[in-house]
Amino acid sequence: MNIVIMGPPGAGKGTQAEFIKNKYQIPHISTGDMFREAVKKGTPMGKEAQKYMNEGKLVPDQVTIGIVEDRLAEADCQAGFLLDGFPRTIVQAQALDGVMEKLGRKIDAVINITVPDNILIQRMSGRVSCKECGKVYHLVFSPPAVEGKCDECSAELIQRSDDNAETAAKRLQVYNEQTSPLLDYYQDKGLLRNVDGDRDPKLVGSDIAASLDKA
């Protein structure tokens, strides 16, 4: 299965991606995670990306398309993949189509998680993640067993620097302007599957699984 998972910031893409990758045994490719990793390592690409991420803006298409193209060419993607946070612009979607065509493959389904804006703001403002293993928690909706510590590895939980109120609002605006036009793009191709993300994560997950089983 070659799957794209879409939705505004905080919709639950990463949370649901964990379920999907285990069910279908496919790699989870998150451009946001890749950029954060590059920032942490201090690579030239990371330094470039950080300027945009800090302002809630999109990293330029050229940079983003390049890293995804390289990642999709790796061996573990040959039996399928789950793309999270990419594409985010029409140019990226067209580039993905080109890559798939070159590889003689196609996208099987595009999952779109919908959540009202006021809930998205709450999700982003309470999101924390493990400094070591990256596991994502929410201070109110899914807190760790011990405050400030990861359930899996006991490492410290940290907040993303772009999850502050101002940058979160900017990211929502960027989503509405630059990413939401992709919904029509994939609807026209018959690939779009809308899922109500404003429910218990397990219910959201079972809806996604049901729609993928039909794909």
**What is the set of active-site residues?**
13, 88, 127, 160, 171
26 near Zn ion (CB under 5 A): no
133 is in the binding site of which of ligand ADP, Zn ion, none (Cβ under 5 to 8 A by kind)? Zn ion
**Maximum Cα–Cα distance across the chain:** 48
Helix locations, the chain, DSSP H: 13-24, 31-41, 44-54, 61-72, 90-103, 117-125, 165-174, 181-188, 201-214
For β-strands 157-158 and 127-130, DSSP reports them as: antiparallel
Q: From CA 61, how far away is CA 13, in angstroms rounded?
A: 20
Minimum Å distance from CB 76 to ligand ADP?
20
Q: From CA 118, how far away is CA 99, in angstroms rounded?
A: 36
Q: Which among 80-88, 120-128, 145-153, 191-199 is the span making contact with Zn ion, rule CB under 5 A?
A: 145-153
Half-sphere exposure of 7 (CA within 13 A, CB side): 29
Name residue 130's beta-bridge partners.
157
Minimum Å distance from CB 14 to ligand ADP?
3
Minimum Å distance from CB 131 to Zn ion?
7
* Measured CA distances, 40 to 9, 55, 64, 149, 174 (Å): 21, 17, 17, 20, 24
Report the residue number, 153 or 165, with the smaller CB distance to Zn ion: 153
**Binding positions for ligand ADP, rule: CB under 6 A:** 7, 9-15, 31-32, 35, 52-53, 56-59, 64, 85-86, 88, 92, 123, 126-127, 136-138, 141-142, 162, 171, 197, 201, 204
Measured in residues, the chain has a length of: 215
210 near Zn ion (CB under 5 A): no
Report the residue number, 109 or 120, with the smaller CB distance to ligand ADP: 120
Report the residue number, 99 or 155, with the smaller CB distance to Zn ion: 155
Nearest residue relative to ligand ADP (C-beta):
32
- Given the rule CB under 5 A, which residues bind Zn ion? 130, 132-133, 135, 150, 152-153, 155
